[in-house]
Structure 1
Amino acid sequence: MASQSKDHALDHVVVVVFENRSLDNVLGRLYGPRDGKTFEGVTGRDLTNPIPDWAEHGADRKVVPYTVATDMDSPNPDTGEEYAHTNTQLFNILGEQNRFQLGEEISAPYNAPEAGRAPTMDGFVTDYISTLTGELGRQPTYDEYAQVMTGFTPEQIPVLNGLARAFGVFDHWFSEVPSQTFTNRSFWTAATASGFVVNSPVKNWILANDAETIFNRIEQHGRTWKVYVAEPDRLSLTGLIHHPRLKDRFDTHFVPFSQFETDAGNGDLPDFSFIEPCLVLGHGDYHPAFSRVLGHGVVIPDVDPPSSILGGEALLARIYNAYRAMRSPSGSNVWNTTLLIGWDEPGGTYDHVPPGPVPPPDPSAPVGQLGFMFDRSGYRVPAVVVSPWVAAGQVFNEEHRHTSLIATLREQWDLGAPFTARDAAARTISHAFTLDTPRDPHTWPTPAPHPVPRYIEDALLLGRTLSTLGKAAFEGIRGFADHHDIRIEGLPDDPRAEVPPEQALQIMRDFLAIHFPRLVPPTQVRQPPHT
């Protein structure tokens, strides 16, 4: 079979991007000194973060040591992930006027460092105490804020760690922007974020992120692609953040994840498959619980169904099992397809490796939202490459980042010039395929995910809650409707009016039934999204 050649290892590429975990948090104990690997994890290191002297509880302990997580949703409530919070985490800078403030409440200069200052990676406790105080309406106890200095063992997260051991892991894969989801996901697929740094206002993305995407470039060169969206989500955040470029493909190229399993089984995968976990309803994405706190001092137990790690592990196992079983003699198969597992950003979970400088994507217009120069990256996230041409137990120590994907596809598929200065400088992953004889998929391990508790599944199916990204998506729909003067049934005219999760979910479903028709279950009777 011609495809049983290393030269064809990247004929098809499957990418899944999960949410908000650092390398230390979920892969930090993958290898230790006794394993004989050069791997920059947490085992054998004395890692701590200082406790600020203004903390009301535990300040006498001086530091919080890095330990093993005991809660599969930890840290819960979720950590701060916006640009200003990430600045505090990386540099331990927190202006007094910004103490106990959240997200958009934080004012300039957004805890940013002076130019050229190296990250110290010692502000995670500071930021988490400040964030929790703003949310809880009181200062957290030591046990509450010490969660930010915890990470998981391979036994707790067996699927991800099992695949990292069985194939190749990158221990210096950095997110592109020291901020949150939308900007980093945009860099995965466009090597830029059009100058936007934070998710809000979401209408920025829907109306103005007009950068060329890898999907557009692939089409221009006669190749194929699909975005597969995990059920029960009916919205693609990839489509949302690249709305100006991809809106004409919503009804043709955005399909449910179940279609991925069918396409993989039939040998019908496109050249490029991009998988979105369940990001809006609950989580199947490894994201920490979005928060049991809905506002200043408003605490509701179990508002987010735990655990996204268990849900993410279950989805990753499904992806891997579908990939490993691909045997088409003429279409996509396991020998000519590579699976890349990545994350968007660390989301405020602890990591000890400081990120370095990077070239601005557009050197002629480097200043972006909140005054950020795009000249330094976010910090480390997990990344694993799965292929029969990758030797077991490989650790790739060189620096990679999200734009390594675009750099690799441009190189392998002859897709033309760099999108931006960022992917022009990124290292490809082509060096990962070192074997001349492929490994037999029958010999590969079968990682078994821990059970996902039934009540989590029920919560997802019932749509009892919306995640942080779900709330952002809802705000984006509102902004899109306002801009285009669309009246959405059930949506209050007052943008400040609270909308219960159930009602917001129905509004989203009705509105998205037209925009993402292939994500609507066939049994659902479609309602008009607007009048």
Structure 2
Amino acid sequence: MTPISRRGFVGLGASMAAGATLGAGPRTAAAAPATATATATGTIKDVRHVVILMQENRSFDHYFGRLKGVRGFDDRSGITLNGGYGVFDQPNGTGRQYPWKLSATPPAGGKDGETLAQCDGDLPHSWSSQHSAWNKGRMDNWVAGVGNVRSLGYLDRSDIPFHYALADNYTICDAYFCSTLSATGPNRTYLWSGKVDQSSYDGGDESGLTWQNYAEALQGAGVTWKVYQNAADNYGDNGCAYFKTFASAKPGSALYDRGMSSVPRATGSTPDDIAAAIKADVVAGTLPQVSWVVPNQAFSEHPYAPPGDGAHFVGLVHQALAADRDVFDSTVLFLNYDENDGFFDHVPPPAPPAGTAGEFLNGVPYGFGFRVPMIVVSPWTRGGWVSSEVFEHTSVLRFLETWTSALGTPATCPNISDWRRRVSGDLTGVFDFARPVYGPVDLPATGVLGMSTCGPLPNPVPTNNALPAQESGTRPARALPYQPNGYLDRLEFGAAGKITAWFTMSNQGAPASRAAHFSIHPGAYRDTTPWQYTVDAGGTTSDYFSIGAGYGDGRYDLTMLGPNRFLRRFRGDATKAGKAAEVKSRYAVEPGTGKPAVYLRMTNSGAAQVKFTITSNHYRGDGPWTYTVAAGASAEDFFNAVAYQDGWYDFTVTVDSDATWSRRFTGHLETGGASVSG
């Protein structure tokens, strides 16, 4: 199996030694009694240690598309591609291909499908290929952009049980994006410093960067920090080394000793040595306030480093932190992935509006990149929760900013753009500091396959072509800082066949405390790129689109997307009777329940009566509801989404006068409190 690697087999010998000696890891068990409860304040101040473990090159759908209760393969708010295909039904040359299970591949090379899936090789994941797959937001060029149908390959619980157990016991983020549509080096540069520039937007491992690395901010603020690594076997993943101040630092200096030096070589196995160093500091009471953990290639999960081997390393880190119960009960472990490799994800990443400062290179946006996994392990994230708040790699730095400020030792990152600070959160919404659940959890045992097993094997090939089913069930969901709404406000008719459709997007109401990203995607009739919008908390915006002569000749099929499965779809023909019908949505407290409800106001501006029909697509089984609206009149009704459907709604509105006309309203009403996944 020949890799398409940015760095080749760095440190392969040590990796193989590790693979030969580690074997199956023990289950994580509870350690000594905790004392963290004695000083608990119920706030972020209860965090004493933050550990950041960034693994390699896996997309969210690739790992967790089948996990119950997240935005995966059963997403009813996926965009529609040109031609009327769903986003999961991707073009593949002259045909089409759905995501397919890697381990369902036929045996080959003397190994079963599961081994072949673990050994699946990497894919192109450069600035060029990532932007090509994204296709300016169309999300329809995965196979061609990546150059391989394996971009649609996925794993599930049977393949990566340890990862699924982490998600089931802690909190998974299903709207966490990598920072840029590019490779490892740029994304790790965002994690360590908050930005890239024209010298560091592409390629593998960066070098000679001159702006401030966040570790320097910690150093200046008096916050203790450390990088746990084997510098000779780190696959180039230590983001400190990308910066000139660190590369030129001398032994004995803080930047070198904390950021560039290696853990003691006690066993000859990089994963074991890193875990031993963490454990030693945990037991000695010297674990820094902030730690970055950098694996070697074989345990990084970078295809074709087996995911199971990466799970083994994550398990070792988890065990090391649990060596002292008090330390474990006051620690946050962020497990995230630098980028998606070339693996498919179906959710369009937020993109900045044209001209946004610090977010474009020669007219092309840096990001966000595609979704990647993020699991937050801590006492305050126990319980199998999901957070659908928008995050990306600089959100980790934002969390550190918020936390260090709360401790009275603020370490700020001046490099994060204003737009990223508006659109992405600081990860504090993932936590419930008032209700910790202390102690480690029992996680599945892990073993090591070893990259030497993978080298000679062929890659998996697809054996099925049907949309995968997601695990049934929901999971508890964290509150979100948005209240997105939107509708087609009106059609305007001008001379020479000119027709414009005006849209309104808003982010208003008590729960809205952060900007919401919206995008509008042309479906049929237009082949333009999606339009991007950022609507601040309490704000509203509007825009218009030509749908007349030369732009569909009156026909339209436009989809509006927002956070957390928010979707509006508008279809019709402005030359037909439906041009007189419109529906607008709003949110208000329904007096009978005292809880927020969705109100739909149907207006008929035509000369004849129209019968509107509202049909529930999901979340409730009653209806449909019909409303006869006289010429020049309106009718309004409400639906108690919060009182009866945990805030979720999904309705389609049609009219009897025009079969081409329909409006779809899908989303979730926020209340400021926890909910249930949709």
Normalising by structure 1, what TM-score? 0.64
Name the amino acid aligned to 2:171. G
Q: Is the 8 A contact 1:72 1:309 kept in 2?
A: no
AA matched with 1:401: E
Q: Which amino acid aligns with 2:307?
A: I
Partner of 1:352: 346
Unaligned stretches of 5+ in structure 1? 32-36, 53-58, 92-112, 114-118, 130-144, 290-306, 460-531
Letter in 1 for 2:127: Y
Q: 1:65 to 1:446 in 2, by over 3 A?
A: same
Separation of aligned partners in 2, 1:221 and 1:361: 34
Superposed displacement of residue 252, structure 1: 4.2
Residue 233 of structure 1 aligns with an amino acid whose one-letter code is D
Give yes or no for contact 2:231–2:262 (8 Å, CA) kept in 1.
no
What SS does the corresponding residue of 2:162 show, helix, strand or coil? helix
Q: 1:421 aligns to what?
A: 417
- Are the equivalent residues in 2 in contact too, given 1:408–1:429 (CA < 8 A)? yes
1:446 aligned residue: 443
Structure 1 residue identity aligned to 2:312: A
1:149 match: 152
Instruction: Report the secondary structure of 1:350's partner residue.
Output: coil
SS in 1 for 2:381: coil
1:18 and 2:55 correspond: yes
- Cα separation, 1, equivalents of 2:354 and 2:289: 29
Q: 1:326 to 1:372 in 2, by over 3 A?
A: farther
2:171 is matched with which residue? 168
Contact 1:391/1:434 (<8 A) preserved = no
The answer to whether 1:382 aligns with 2:385 is no
- 1:151/1:458 Cα in 2 relative to 1: closer, same or farther (>3 Å)? closer
Out of 278, 281, 286, the residue aligned to residue 268 of structure 1 is: 286
Alignment of 1:316-327 (within 5 A): 316-327=314-325
Partner-residue secondary structure (3-state), 1:255: coil
Q: Distance in 1 between matches of 2:172 and 2:448?
A: 25
Mapped to 1, the partners of 2:354 and 2:101 lie a distance apart of 37
1:85 to 125, 129, 148: 129
Identity %: 22
Residue from 143, 148, 161 that aligns with 1:158: 161
Instruction: Indicate the structure (1 or 2) with the bigger Cα radius of gyration.
Output: 2
Q: Which amino acid aligns with 2:295?
A: P
Which residue identity is paired with 1:244?
T
Could you report, residue by residue, the CA deviation over 1:149-188 in whole angstroms, capped at 9, with x for unpaired residues?
Answer: 1211112111221111101000000111100011100101
Q: Is the 8 A contact 2:173 2:387 kept in 1?
A: yes
Q: Using the alignment, how far apart are the partners of 1:264 and 1:246 within structure 2?
A: 28
Structure 1 pair 44–182 and aligned structure 2 pair: CA distance change class (3 A): closer
| Residue aligned with 2:345, SS | coil
In the TM superposition, what is the alpha-carbon distance from 1:438 to its structure 2 partner?
2.7
| Cα 1:358–1:216 shift into 2, 3 Å | farther
Q: Which amino acid aligns with 2:47?
A: L
Q: Is the 8 A contact 1:4 1:336 kept in 2?
A: no
Shift of 1:271: 0.8
After superposition, residues 426-505 of structure 1 pair within 5 angstroms as 426-434=424-432, 436-441=434-439, 444-449=441-446, 451-453=447-449, 456=452
The CA RMSD over aligned residues, in Å, is: 2.9
- Equivalent-residue separation in structure 1 for 2:141 and 2:197 (angstroms): 28
Contact 2:306 2:450 in 1 (8 A): no
**Partners of 2:227 and 2:258 within 8 A in 1:** no
Contact preservation (8 Å) 2:348, 2:370? yes
1:410 to 2:427 alignment: no
- Would you say 1:255 and 2:262 are equivalent positions? yes
Specify which structure has the higher proportion of strand: 2
Out of 69, 72, 91, the residue aligned to residue 102 of structure 2 is: 69
CA distance in 2, matches of 1:263, 1:180: 33
> 1:353-412 deviations in whole A, cap 9, x for unaligned?
11111489992x6554xx364453111000010111223111001111111111111111
- 1:296-375 pair list within 5 angstroms: 307-328=305-326, 333-358=327-352, 363=357, 367-368=360-361, 371=362, 373-374=364-365
User: In 1, distance between residues paired with 2:337 and 2:354?
Assistant: 21
Residue 3 of structure 2: aligned partner: none
Q: Which residue of 1 aligns with 2:218?
A: 218
**Letter matched to residue 381 of structure 1:** V
Query: What amino acid maps onto 1:189 in structure 2?
Result: W
- Between the aligned partners of 2:323 and 2:55, the Cα distance in structure 1 is 22
The correspondence for 1:41, drawn from 72, 77, 84, is: 72
Tell me, yes or no, if the aligned pair for 2:223 and 2:289 is still in contact at 8 Å.
Answer: yes
1:190 partnered with 2:193: yes
Aligned to 2:42: 6
Match of residue 29 from structure 1: 66
Q: Distance in 2 between matches of 1:436 and 1:247?
A: 44
Q: 1:73 to 1:175 in 2, by over 3 A?
A: farther
Tell me the distance in 2 between the aligned counterparts of 1:175 and 1:340: 14
C-alpha distance 411-239 of structure 1, shift in aligned 2 (>3 A): closer
What amino acid is aligned across from residue 78 of structure 1 in structure 2? D
Alpha-carbon displacement from aligned partner over 1:427-480 (angstroms, at most 9, x marks no partner)? 1111222153432325x222222x213674999xxxxxxxxxxxxxxxxxxxxx
CA separation of 1:395/1:454 partners in 2, compared to 1, >3 Å: closer, same or farther? closer
Structure 1 residues 25 and 226: CA distance shift in structure 2, 3 A: same
Question: Contact between 1:14 and 1:339, CA under 8 Å: does it hold in 2?
Answer: yes
Alpha-carbon distance between aligned partners in 1 of 2:371 and 2:385, rounded to the nearest angstrom = 18
Task: Work out whether residues 12 and 269 of structure 1, in 8 Å CA contact, stay in contact via their aligned partners in 2.
Answer: yes
Residue 245 of structure 2: aligned partner: 244
Contact map agreement 1:191 1:361 (CA 8 A) in 2:
no
Change (3 A) 1:85 1:166: same
**Residues 416 and 224 from structure 1, CA distance in 2 versus in 1: closer, same or farther, beyond 3 angstroms?**
closer
Count the aligned residue pairs.
Answer: 372
Residue 247 to residue 392, structure 1, CA distance change in 2 (3 Å): farther
Which amino acid is the alignment partner of residue 6 of structure 1?
Answer: G
Distance of aligned partners of 1:84 and 1:155 in 2 relative to their CA distance in 1, 3 Å threshold: same
Is 1:4–1:335's contact at 8 Å kept on the other side of the alignment? no
Shift of 1:267: 2.7
Displacement of 1:86 in angstroms is 0.6
Say if 1:351 and 1:366 are closer, same or farther in 2 by CA, change over 3 A.
closer
Q: Does 1:179 align with 2:196?
A: no
Q: What is the alpha-carbon distance in structure 1 between the residues aligned to residue 89 and residue 351 of structure 2?
A: 24
Aligned-partner Cα distance in 1 for 2:60–2:306: 16
Q: Is the 8 A contact 1:192 1:361 kept in 2?
A: no
Task: Map Cα deviations across residues 62-93 of structure 1 (whole Å, 9 max, x no partner).
Answer: 101112111556584421100110112111xx
Which of these residues, 378, 383, 400, is aligned with residue 391 of structure 2?
A: 400
Query: Conserved in 2, the CA contact under 8 Å of 1:286 and 1:311?
Result: yes
Quick one: structure 1 residues 440 and 237, their matched pair in 2 at CA, closer, same or farther if it must change by over 3 Å?
closer
Cα deviation for residue 342 of structure 1 reads 0.5
Contact 1:361 1:421 in 2 (8 A): no
TM-score, normalized by length of structure 2? Answer: 0.51
C-alpha distance in 1 between matches for 2:157 and 2:183: 26
- The Cα of 1:255 is off from its aligned counterpart by 3.0
**Equivalent position amino acid for 2:300 in 1:** D
Deviation string 1:2-26 (CA, Å, 9 cap, x unpaired) is: 4444333432100000111100011
Question: Does the 8 Å CA contact 2:213/2:240 hold for their aligned counterparts?
Answer: no
In structure 1, give the amino acid aligned to 2:188: R
- Residue 241 of structure 1 aligns with an amino acid whose one-letter code is Y
Q: Following the alignment from structure 2 to structure 1, what is the Cα–Cα distance between the partners of residues 100 and 159?
A: 14
1:243 positional shift: 3.3
Q: Distance in 2 between matches of 1:456 and 1:165?
A: 31
1:416 to partner: Cα distance: 5.2
Distance 1:225 1:73, change over 3 A: farther
Matches of 1:121 and 1:160, distance apart in 2:
27
Q: Which has the higher contact order (CA 8 A, sep 6+)?
A: 1
1: CA distance between counterparts of 2:168 and 2:452? 29
Q: In the TM superposition, what is the alpha-carbon distance from 1:220 to its structure 2 partner? A: 0.7
